[in-house]
Structure 1
Amino acid sequence: MRKRNSQPVPKEKGNKRKKVILENSQRTLESFFQKRQFSEETSACTSPIEGDDHNDTNSTTRTLEIIPDDSESDLLLLEKLVKSNSGDPLESQSNSSVPGSSVVDAISIDEIQPFFATSMYTDEFDKIMETVLENEKYLFTDEELQIAEKHRVLHIEAKHLFVRIFLRKHKWIRLRKTDYSRNIADINHASSILCSRQIKFARDETELVDLAHLLDILLVDELKALIQNSRISIPRGSAQNRCSLINCILDYANGKQRPSPLKDNSQRLLAFEQKTKDDGFTEKGAQERVQLLISDVKTMIGPCIILEETIRTLFEKIQFVYYRASSQSNVSAMTAAILVRTSRRTFPSYIVCRSNNFWPHRDDLLEYYQAVKVYQGFKDMIEDLYANRKNERAQSAEQWRCKEVEVLTIAWLQCESTLENWKIIIKKQEAKVTSDDDWDTARLYFRKRFEAGWVYTHMIEDGAEVLGRLHEYEKEVLILKTLLGQNVYRLGKRGAWFDRLALVQMNHLRSGNRRIHLKAALETCTKAIRDPKVHLVYMSSLQRRIMRLESMLNVPKREQHDFFYNRLTTATERIIYGERLSDAVVGVKSVFRNNDGGECSVEELALGYYNKNGYKGFHSENGIIKTIFGLLFWDILFAPFPDVLETPFQTAPLDLPTDAFFIGRSYEIYTRLRELSNGKGLEILKTVYDRESKAKTWCIGVTWDYELDDLLQITECIGANALAQICKVFAEEYDHRTGGMPDLCCWNYEKRECLFVEVKGPGDILSETQKVWIDLLINSGVGVELCHIKIWDGEDELLNH
């Protein structure tokens, strides 16, 4: 080891040397971060899209004043940092094993964090704006276009702040709790620009004048601190959650409670001296008391900002137009683009064929956007109700039912308010329909999913289900008949509507003559099986209901329907006994003991049995078949075709859920089916898997958890002809066929045998879609078994035998 020169350095020269090194180091670091900016994607990997919340972080310009003048060791560290940064900047900051990373232990990483003039969020947002306004400007008014232009020329840091706030939930954002310092040098200045009279994109804390709104911004700990500082008493036994704390403070502000008693003698004396003054708890001092609380809360909150509702709505509509959104979410659809730029997600490579008349008129877009917002509120109301059901069950069943009825009634009233508007839309659309056989109408049917009428139809369909839960069966019958009376939207659901209508007429209508209701149910089922738009999935259930109704009505044998020609093939049944460890609870899956003594599900118990008998298998349900179909039809799914690949962030063409997919690509699909029948499936699957598996490209139905060898063996064991038939069904009716596949996919490669197994625990029965899939697989030449898991009764079972 080289010995350090111990000769003393004159103090004046030493200080001068330190000063020169500091100046050189400062210039070197500044030049380095200006010339060699870190990759934007790398920086984004450490900052979430939605969060960015920190504790009291001041978003100001980062400085490099990191070394005291009299610190020789820190000076050497800085020299080492500058030298280490002469190489690749990404290497110097990636991990602690890189030379120079020891500096991080001595120097805060925030102090050397680089500053970026650009942001991938803003870049993607600008790209969306440019694309939409270039080709679909006709969807926006002149005033809206002026706002968009104002955004385009906005100060860059104000634009960064606007985009980041837009991506978050629409609420007041506390600037102290955010850290956008990588792109915004002065966040307060950027906020003032957005809130200025010239821009008017946002509002600041000066417009917060309501105490309740202010309290809603505070964290729970801050609410508790405010209660303590204001000497507000909390009722004994009350909850310490946000809602209770806010109500407690509001009661105090409204004069419903006085401050808690003082314990200190000096405080009591001070209170006695001020006894003659207005203590703030009389009617006279109420206003001062509220203003004092508002002042205290504003001090705690600090600078805040929220986007103007009209501004946010405009840019949300622009997002809708760009992404062809079919639902509303608090998180912007830009999330997909950000994940792509940060290499966290890969979408298929295809040619984007963007149409310029997706919504022909501005009114079409506005109606659709409004319908989506209304339906989202309706869904959120119901989902929140049942999401909190577990907590509500801590109360009595009667209390829960009262709560359920109250919320469902409000939801139905909201749904009912859309009926008249929906009927007007239906009349307009039916006037446009010229022929059911119009090829172009069938090909473009999928685009109706982006019309207000489709959204309202879906909402009314859910409203009928709400009426069923409310036991309002008379109203439910009227709604179902109204849905069946139109032939424009959600035609694939007509079978489900017919089946539900017949069920209600058959079992739930109590008023009047029961025989009349049974005849009405029979007529409903008869209409259903004659309706060409009713899907095959619902036919079996409707036919069985017809036979049951005819028997109940004592229809003469010669006049009864006979569906022997259309009966579904049933699977071979197998019984496996197991020891159940869980109690029999409705809605809860049974837990059994596996061979190792541990806990397992009924599917895992059955899989263990088949493994013992020479089969390898997965509990995959529809996962494996959908993966095989996606890989075999990859190039057809993402082939250039008008109107279906509108953005770079799609996992499937827009028309896949409808029969338009097969109609528009019939030649390509039949060509691929012939290739599969000729045994080329293994080659196609392997080629696509090798190309896409490394990036784990997102494609509808495809799961990359399965190994290539397993997929190849399963494909070979299924057989060429059976594989072609299964894939044809997916191509024709993907939306109807993604459910109902058997639970287990097992295969014995030595015997070239594939076996699908549907597992049923105690009390479970087959659904209609499962029966249809079993029939299809058996008729295609694939083995299927129905495995019943029964509870082992031990000695009792032995005695019985």
Structure 2
Amino acid sequence: MFPPGEDDPCFASAGHDTQAGSSRKRAGTCNDAESLKRAQPQHSIHVHVFRDVLRVVLSHERYLFSEEECSTFDVFEQLSDAAQHLYVRLFLRKHGWIRARTLAYDGIDDVAAALEELFKAGLADGEHAVESVEEVLALLNAGELDMLVGAAGRPSSVDFDLDCKLVKLRVAGIQAFQRSHLIYYRVADPDDPPIVKALLSAFGLRQYPEYTVHRSSTVFADRNALLAYEEALAVESEIVELLAGDSDEHARWVYTRIMGHGLKALARLKRYEDEAALLCKLLDQRTYCIGARGVWYERLALVQERYLHDRRAALATCGRALEDPTVWTASQQTIQRRVLKLQRILAVPFSEQRSFTHLSIREADVIFISGVRVGTSPSGTRAVYRLGEDATEGTVEELALCHYASQGYQGLHAEGSIFTLLFWDILFSERDGAFETAEQSAPLDLATDAFYVGCRGEIDARLRQIEDVDVEHGKVLIPIRDVDEDEHDTATPLSRLYLQLISQVYAREAPRNTMCAGVSWQYSRTVLLEIARCLGGSALSAICRLLAQEYTRWSSGVPDLCLWKSSTSECKFVEVKSPNDRLSESQKVPSVYAYICIQLTR
């Protein structure tokens, strides 16, 4: 069906392997785009990216497709370049009826002829296949709908061209190509389709990190396993939509996540006994969603204490959690606080109490600042305050920044770039299943518990290196200056490992504007180095441990503001709260483990 990819210069340049299990170092994306442009006119890049996906999956995972799906791919291959291009452009749009007269794409000289080819090939339907009035009404714009409503009862006065030529891709073809993309990219994200990322990369509009692409050909044992995975994703998507939660991974893993979403439903329905029973079932298995076990223990203990009024069962649950090696640092802290409270309430004899005297637990400091509210933002969603005597206006976060600026602090909205820069080589190291395509901004396992489990040795070693620096050098002031990419850093005393790592990775990747999860290149290297130096190795190590263990959970729990004062080597994370707000557990833990005071403003 598809000729060998080695002879296609566009295929070779796209960074795809021609054999499953082989790997190669990904070259710069700009070179890939230039190769594509030289090989074919720019408009056909859409087709090349689309066909490359088919080449790879049909070469190594053809057994996952039905005969009908393979026949669809054969029909697509036999289309003219213009018809293939039009099909791809329609596939990338919202699937539904489209007025043919609105179709116009560079590189397709005769859209009507390309459409007829799609009709004859059985890949698209025309207006004759419209089944209901609702489908037609969906095509009308606001003005046309107004005219239609105004002409109610006088249909002859409505001058709509409802008999215009329409086109809609057939569902069978859409599903076949969507399945090929799921197999190729290993992820399904309707909000940010992976093929769009590939196209942006092919056009040279987006750069990705350099890493070794290693295609796995045994992700799905057979077609039944693939279909079970798709069904699980569909069920999870429906539940997530109902609960407004999040999503991800293989069928049993996904079903475990679905059960996690079910916990939210039981909690909302106040069926606490059923929720506790489901939590126990989830904790009884030790294979899937390991990173969620700490949260499950936390919730079970809370339900037992608060709603089932069984404090001894809650204390026993906490005891099991503290002895479970899969419970990460963050959850341990919350559970330890609950143990101390329950032991006090139950009057547990001193000799039987668990002691956590080695912990340095401190509550976040609370300060109060006042501001004059002058209105709301244009969108009406945020309050606006007066920031100074010059009548400048801004958000409550900007008000807090002004308050600390008067004390000599610099500040910015908190971000997580430093973690990614410190662990860049580990994040993008070669390992099975982590990098299946060339257009990834993060390894596929980063949002799962598999990342820390699979890289635990390297991660723990890096954390020790970062923390031990403070022991070796002490907390001293080190001046930081910015340097050009080509300039040697010998004059800058970056003797601490973490400063060297940040500086080297930033100098290499920032000029490329590399697309990477958790990194914002809008901040200068000098700023990031100053923040890292003021934090110190111990705090950096503690924060990075949380992110490495549960990236999704803690990357979304970053406080509002990051403040630092170079003269005194101080760094603060500030969470801005209204008088009735409270810190979440995810905001409390970093203040304990990183020895950083989260300050509240009211």
So what's the TM-score if we normalise by structure 1?
0.60
Q: What secondary structure is seen at the aligned counterpart in 1 of 2:368?
A: strand
The SS at the match of 1:534 is coil
Is 1:611 aligned to residue 435 of structure 2?
Answer: no
Alignment of 1:213-362 (within 5 A): 213-228=135-150, 231-232=151-152, 259=153, 299-300=161-162, 302-325=164-187, 327-329=188-190, 332-362=193-223
| Higher normalized contact order (CA 8 Å, seq sep 6+, divided by chain length) | 2
Residue 224 to residue 116, structure 1, CA distance change in 2 (3 Å): farther
Report the Cα offset of residue 556 of structure 1.
4.7
Answer with 588-597 or 713-722: which moved more. Answer: 588-597
Which residue of structure 1 lines up, in the alignment, with residue 321 of structure 2?
A: 528
The residue type paired with residue 51 of structure 2 is D
Report the equivalent of 1:191.
Answer: 115
The counterpart of 1:146, out of the listed 57, 68, 71, is 71
After superposition, what is the alpha-carbon deviation per residue over 1:389-424, rounded to whole angstroms, capped at 9, x for unaligned? xxxxxxxxxxxxxxxxxxxxxxxxxxxxxxxxxxxx
Task: Report if aligned partners of 1:347, 1:699 keep a CA contact under 8 Å in 2.
Answer: yes
How much has 1:545 moved relative to structure 2? 3.4
Residue 313 of structure 1: how far off its partner (Å): 0.8
Amino acid of the structure 2 residue aligned with 1:133: L
Task: Tell me which amino acid in the other structure corresponds to 2:147.
Answer: A
What is the alpha-carbon distance in structure 1 between the residues aligned to residue 584 and residue 320 of structure 2? 22
2:225 equivalent to 1:376? no
Unmatched runs of 5 consecutive residues or more in structure 1: 1-114, 233-258, 261-288, 387-447, 779-783, 791-801
How many residue pairs get aligned? The number is: 530
Q: Which residue of 2 aligns with 1:708?
A: 525
> Does the C-alpha gap of structure 1 residues 578 and 195 become closer, same or farther in structure 2, counting only changes over 3 Å?
same
- Counterpart of 2:83? 158
Does 1:648 find its partner at 2:509? Answer: no
Cα separation, 2, equivalents of 1:725 and 1:363: 43
- 2:440 partner amino acid: Q
Q: Secondary structure at the match of 1:644?
A: coil
1:479 to 278, 286, 293: 278
User: How far apart in 2 are the matches of 1:581 and 1:367?
Assistant: 54
Amino acid at match of 1:203: D
**2:101 aligned with 1:176:** yes
Change (3 A) 1:172 1:520: same
CA–CA distance in 2 between the matches of 1:152 and 1:193? 12
Any idea what SS the aligned residue of 2:597 has? Answer: strand
Cα deviation for residue 143 of structure 1 reads 3.1
**SS in structure 2 of the partner of residue 375 of structure 1:** helix
Letter in 2 for 1:479: L
Q: TM-score, normalised by structure 2?
A: 0.78
Deviation at 1:140? 1.4
Counterpart-to-counterpart distance in 2, 1:314 and 1:453: 23
For the pair shown, which has the larger CA radius of gyration, 1 or 2?
Answer: 1
Residues 498-551 of structure 1: CA deviation (Å, up to 9, x unaligned): 322333343345xxxx5xx44444443343333332233223333343454455
2:597 matched residue in structure 1: 785
Deviation at 1:631, TM superposition (A): 1.9
DSSP 3-state at the match of 2:137: helix
- Match of 1:300, SS? coil
Q: Which amino acid is 2:50 matched to?
A: F
What displacement does 1:608 show?
2.4
Shift of 1:151: 1.4
Equivalences for 1:475-554 in 2 at 5 Å?
475-508=274-307, 517-549=310-342, 554=346
Q: Deviations along 1:422-472, whole A, 9 cap, x unmatched?
A: xxxxxxxxxxxxxxxxxxxxxxxxxx9631122222222222212322334
Name the aligned partner's letter for residue 253 of structure 2: W
Equivalent position of 2:378 in the other structure? none
* Deviation for aligned residue 1:337: 1.4
Deviation for aligned residue 1:743: 3.7
For 1:646, what is the secondary structure of its paired residue? coil
Q: Contact between 2:374 and 2:386, CA under 8 Å: does it hold in 1? A: no
1:371-450 maps to which residues of 2 (within 5 A)?
Answer: 371-383=232-244, 450=249
Gaps of 5+ in 2: 1-39, 376-380, 470-494
Q: Does 1:463 align with 2:262?
A: yes
Alpha-carbon deviations, 1:531-582, whole Å to 9, x = none? 3322332233333434544555x45544763443354521562523313538
Letter in 2 for 1:322: Y
Contact 1:119/1:160 (<8 A) preserved: yes
Q: Distance in 2 between matches of 1:215 and 1:574?
A: 57
Secondary structure of residue in 1 paired with 2:125: strand
| Alignment check: 8 A CA contact 1:618 1:744 kept | yes
State the alpha-carbon separation in 2 of the partners of residues 690 and 567 from structure 1.
38
Distance 1:331 1:657, change over 3 A: closer
Contact in 2 for aligned 1:218/1:301 (Cα 8 Å): no
Q: Residue 709 of structure 1: CA displacement?
A: 1.5
Cα 1:637–1:572 change in 2 (3 A) is closer
Q: 2-side partners of 1:332 and 1:568: how far apart?
A: 45
CA distance in structure 2 between the aligned counterparts of 1:615 and 1:581, rounded to whole angstroms: 24
- 1:570, 1:771 within 8 Å by CA — same for their partners in 2? no
Residues 1:546 and 1:117: Cα distance change in structure 2 (over 3 Å): closer
- Distance in 1, matches of 2:298 and 2:364, equals 28
Instruction: Quickly say closer, same or farther: Cα 1:652–1:209, change in 2 above 3 A.
Output: closer
Q: Which amino acid aligns with 1:531?
A: D
